[in-house]
Amino acid sequence: MVEDVFTRHGRIDILVNNAGIGVYGKSEGVPAEEWEGAVSVMLSGVFFTSQAVGRVMISRGRGSIVNIASIGGMGGWPLRAAYNAAKAGVINLTEVLAAEPDNPRARLAAELLASEAHRGTNARARAFVAQGGGCRATFFNYRRRLAGGGS
């Protein structure tokens, strides 16, 4: 997929990873196949897609990766073990990608997290955004860039 896009367009400027699968139920009853499927899509998919596209971006010396996470990744919601664990993984993975040398700019675009912080309804979300979203960028910065404003 990455090679096809690069061949057709000659560059990849941005990657947006946005995936979610609802696996609901008590943790002790979640079948292994459902857990593995959810984590595969929501976390492993983000990692391996970022890895493939990141190689192209690093070779060009530019590009942005935006990972859509969730406020669910910052705490426990009942009956959503796989979803919350995978989204917590996306948040931490994004921080790792942003901290590694020579990586394209990794941005954490956690829309629910940012909107909760903006409304002031979640102290952890407000603190996370106040710290720069862990990656020194938030959904609002990304949205501003798309609208033609600065970062």
- In the residue annotation, 83 being an active-site residue is answered as yes
Question: For residue 122, what pLDDT is reported?
Answer: 54
Q: Which residue has the higher pLDDT, 60 or 85?
A: 85
The stretch 89-107 carries a mean pLDDT of 75
Across the range 105-134, mean pLDDT stands at: 50
- Domain ranges in the chain are 2-109
Q: Which of 43, 71, 80, 83 is catalytic?
A: 83
pLDDT at 65 (0 to 100): 86
Asked if residue 5 has pLDDT above 80, the reply is yes
pLDDT digits (tens, 9 = 90+) for 37-62: 999 999 999 999 999 998 888 888 88
Q: Does domain 2-109 have CATH number 3.40.220.10?
A: no
pTM over 0.75: no
Q: What percent of the chain has pLDDT over 70?
A: 67
Please name which of 90, 104, 105 lies closest in space to residue 142, comparing C-alpha atoms: 105
Going by C-alpha positions, the residue among 4, 138, 147 that lies closest to residue 66 is 138
Which residues fall within 8 angstroms of residue 124, CB to CB, at 6 or more apart? 74, 75
User: What tokens were used for 108?
Assistant: 């954490």
**109 with 138: CB under 8 angstroms?**
yes
